Every structure is written in C-alpha cells, then in structure tokens.
Structure 1
Amino acid sequence: MSDGAHDAVTRDAFLGGSLHLLQPQSGYRAGVDPVVLAASVNARAGQSVLDLGCGVGAAALCLAARVPGLDLWGVELQCDYADLARRNATGNDISFNVVHADLNDLPPPLRAARFDHVIANPPYYRPGAHSIARNEGRGIALSEQRTPLADWLAVAARRLAPRGYLHMIQRADRLPDMLAGCAGRLGSVEILPLASRAGRAPGVVILRARKDGRAPFRLHAPCLMHEGVRHEGDAESYAPAIAAVLRDGAALDWPAT
C-alpha cells in the first residue's frame, strides 16, 4: 500500500496489525530483527529509553506497544527516516521524541541526558565487506560508512544511567567487536544467539549489558526462530515464542540466570 503523500512509501503492518509503519519502498526496510530486539528489552512503564539509529522507529514503537508509559527518544542520522519515525509515532498514537543528529554529534540536551535503557540495531557490515544496494539510504543503514560499531557502543555507554541496560542486535560474526566495545564501559554482559533452525549456526545475536554491571559473562543457548530442521512448503514455521513476538507483541524471555 502506498502512502498518498509519498509515492515511494509503503504502510506496513507489524505485531499482527496492531502497529502500522510507513517505510521507504526502495530504501532500508525494517524486518524481523528490530521487532525481536524490542521484545528482548526488560523495560518498565515510567522508564526512559533511547533508540540509537532509530530509522522509521520500528524497534522503539514495537517496544512502546508492549510497554506503555515509556519516556521514548530516538536519534536518526537520515532526515527522511527521522521524519517517517515522527509520522509513525503520531499515526500509532505513541509519544516518541525523534532527534535528527549524528551519534557522535548529539545536541546538548541529549548529551546531558541519561537513560534507563539504550537500544540499537546498528549497521551489520563493515565498509567494503558487503555489496550495498545503490540506494544511498539503504547503504547507510546497512554499512558502517560513517560510524564504526565501537562508536555505537561508546555512545550507548555514555547515555546510560547507572545500572541502565543496553540491548543491541548484530550479526554473530561481529560478537568479538561488540565485546571489545563493552570492555571498560559495560558489564554483566549476556549474549542470546538467534539461530534460524535447530542444527544451524546462529546468524544474529542480541547483546544485553549493564552500566556498572559486575555479573559474570553469560552465553545463552540459541533461541530458535523456526521449527523443524528445514523449511517445508509455504507454511509459516516460526517457533511459538517467536510467533508470539511477531504477531502478538509478546516479550522475548531471556533464560533464567
């Protein structure tokens, strides 16, 4: 479905149709990852959340749909995406303060603020490591063309309040970079790998880390996205926990510590 004001924008249903997001038709488009990221965040009503690189607002707005009453902020480098994030917040009747800025050049009010939670879905690929689409917006969203992953972690750590949580989703092969970025800044690191099916290596991981955390490192067993060892026909095969996240806006429970 195209949006009347922007022929190159579509309006897409998330969380079983309880949330609708405007997205560029040919640019970077939110998929499963920001929804699962939002489901992993242990936020409570009344807490503050900062979404770094919020795009059209998929992760932040999915989180707000599950946890009403958040003080929700987002930072987005690309002006068009920031505008869509604001429109998506309005269209879904969710309070979301979106700032158009570079992560390494935040405006003074954000530099002075501290948040209970920071969430991030940074670009997955190092410059030159992936063939990026010709669309400039998609290229910026997918590749570290301007901001290295280490900078995302450093900014997140500075914006967290004491004992605040970072949740970040990233490719599994970037795990060493994520751990290096946490060193000396964030502790109580937990890693939840996401594997497509039983017997498959995880392709993506979610990192949870805490400002001033002192708990030992934990590597959890993979969360399986799909049932069965292979895709059978055209039927949907999401595992029940993932289906509940994607269709019902449920939380993604971390294994008990």
Structure 2
Amino acid sequence: MGFAESDLTHDRFLDGKLRVWQPKAGYRAGVDPVLLAATVPAQAGDSVLELGCGVGVANLCLSARVFGLDLTGIEVQPDYAELAQRNADENGHDMTVHCADLRALPESVLQRNFDHVIANPPYYLRDRGTAAMDAGRETALGEATPLADWIDAATRRLKPKGHLTVIQDAERLPALLSALDDRLGNVRVLPLAPRVGRSAHLVILQARKSGRAAFRLLAPVVMHEGVAHDGDRESYSAEIRAVLRDGAALALQSR
C-alpha cells in the first residue's frame, strides 16, 4: 500500500548530494548508515548487498562516494522497500530492492555472491526496554532475527575475499564477535565515541571472507568536539563532518 505523501519528509544527506524520502513517524535514518557506508572499501564495478536496507541510505551514500557500483537491497518491510527503490531511482543510482526476509532471500540473490555485504541490524533486544509504538520503527530497532542469522546470511553471500561491514551498538559487540566463525578473518573493530574520554556507543566491525589476518581493535574515532554538549549547534569533529557532509571515506584499512 505504501506511505501517503503527506506522511513523508524529503531529507538531505551528504550536504544535499542525496535527497531521501522517509516517513515522518517510524524508523528514520540518521548518521549511522552514513558512517557505515563510509567504511566500506568498495571500488568501481563492485557488487554490494545491503541486508535490512530501510529506505536505502547506506547503499546510496556508498554509491555517491564510489561510482559504478552494482547495488542490491533487502528490506523486510514492504513500505520501506518501496521507498528505498524510489530513493535510488530519483537519485539516479542503480539499485535493485527486494522485499524479503534475510532468512528467505529471493532466488536471484541466492544465485549470486557479492564483493561487499553491509548491514545495520537492529540494536536492541526485544526482552529489554520498551517497544516502540510505531511498528516500522520497532521492526528496525528491536531484534526479531538473531544477530547470528544476519552474520550467517551475509557470510554466505560474500565472494571469497569479500568484505562484511556492520554497524552495531557497542553493548552488542560480544554477540557480534561470537556470531563470526572461521569463514571470516581480518576482523577489525572501530569504536565510535561520542566525545573525548567517553565510552564508545557504536562500533563498526569489518571482516573478510577467507581472511587470515589477526583481529584488530582500532583506536576510537571521536564523533564530537569538546568534552560536553555546550549548546544547540553542530559540534562534529572534522573527520566525522567530512563523512557526513562531503561523503568522505572512513577507511579501516589505513588505521
């Protein structure tokens, strides 16, 4: 059925390089998918599969930085999948979006392997906290499919030496690491700290199929300048501002 036009906003990402339709109420993409896209080591011509693509922001931000990508999105919620396809088409990016559960992927996806699989899985366990009132927001934020299923589905779809990149709440890092098996190596974890001296609230994990390099816990990236919030103004660090405004890369390999 889809969202009514009156229920949507048309939002700017990457300082207006992308204009994205998303619901006024429900799950709304913020900085997390932009940060995820920035860390993907894609090159022109690569294929990218995004599991749980929402309205398509991560794939589209990646495509804005690296031209000539072959993009595929999987989204379980029909209304969001429809918006993701619309956003890709209106922004002129080549992406095919499938409305499907990642545990029952379409045959056309199962027959392929990808250079990159990316994901921004739900952060919160359903047995903790209060469920969101909006069904779309709850599906996006509350874990229904175990994190291990996300990692297994992603690993199966990777080419040998392909990269998996995932952003997740820092509290879920133990579960994320335990979901990895010997099919993946070269594991790097980048903590994202809100300010200097503060604990990381997000992590980005990247691994390589058939990789054999040792695990690396990277130095944190600090999101905001200053030690505390000091007013209603943008306070992103220069590195994060370049990612969010200019679509710059946040390369894990060079850290």
TM-score by length of 1: 0.96
Aligned partner of 2:199 in structure 1 is: 201
Q: 1:73–1:96: 8 Å Cα contact kept in structure 2?
A: yes
Q: 2:188–2:252: 8 Å Cα contact kept in structure 1?
A: no
Q: Aligned partners of 1:112 and 1:134: how far apart in 2?
A: 37
Q: Aligned partners of 1:115 and 1:83: how far apart in 2?
A: 23
Deviations 1:75-96 (A, max 9, x none): 0000000000010011101110
Aligned partner of 2:37 in structure 1 is: 38
Q: Aligned partners of 2:105 and 2:139: how far apart in 1?
A: 18
Supply the AA of the counterpart residue of 1:214. Answer: R
Match of 2:217 among 213, 216, 219: 219
Supply the AA of the counterpart residue of 2:9. Answer: T
Q: Aligned partners of 2:106 and 2:51: how far apart in 1?
A: 14
Q: 2:65–2:247: 8 Å Cα contact kept in structure 1?
A: yes
Q: CA deviation at 1:126?
A: 1.1
Deviations 1:162-203 (A, max 9, x none): 000000000111111111111223111000000000000001
Supply the AA of the counterpart residue of 1:192. Answer: L
Supply the AA of the counterpart residue of 1:93. Answer: G
Match of 1:163 among 161, 164, 189: 161
Aligned partner of 1:99 in structure 2 is: 98
Supply the AA of the counterpart residue of 1:65. Answer: A
Q: Aligned partners of 1:139 and 1:121: how far apart in 2?
A: 14
Moved over 2 A (4+): 253-257
Q: 1:15–1:249: 8 Å Cα contact kept in structure 2?
A: yes
Q: 1:38–1:60: 8 Å Cα contact kept in structure 2?
A: yes
Q: CA deviation at 1:11?
A: 0.5
Match of 1:181 among 179, 182, 185: 179
Structure 2 stretches lacking a partner, 5+ long: none
1:63 matches 2:62:
yes
Structure 1 stretches lacking a partner, 5+ long: none
Q: Aligned partners of 2:56 and 2:33: how far apart in 1?
A: 9
Q: CA deviation at 1:108?
A: 1.1
Q: Aligned partners of 2:80 and 2:238: how far apart in 1?
A: 32
Q: 2:40–2:251: 8 Å Cα contact kept in structure 1?
A: no
Q: CA deviation at 1:5?
A: 5.3
Deviations 1:203-249 (A, max 9, x none): 10000000001000000010000111111222211000100011111
Q: 1:189–1:207: 8 Å Cα contact kept in structure 2?
A: yes
Trace 1:99-118 onto structure 2 (pairs within 5 A). Answer: 99-118=98-117
TM-score by length of 2: 0.97
Deviations 1:54-97 (A, max 9, x none): 00001000000010100100000000000000100111011101
Q: Aligned partners of 1:164 and 1:256: how far apart in 2?
A: 18
- Give the root-mean-square deviation of aligned CA atoms: 1.2
Q: Secondary structure at the match of 1:17?
A: coil
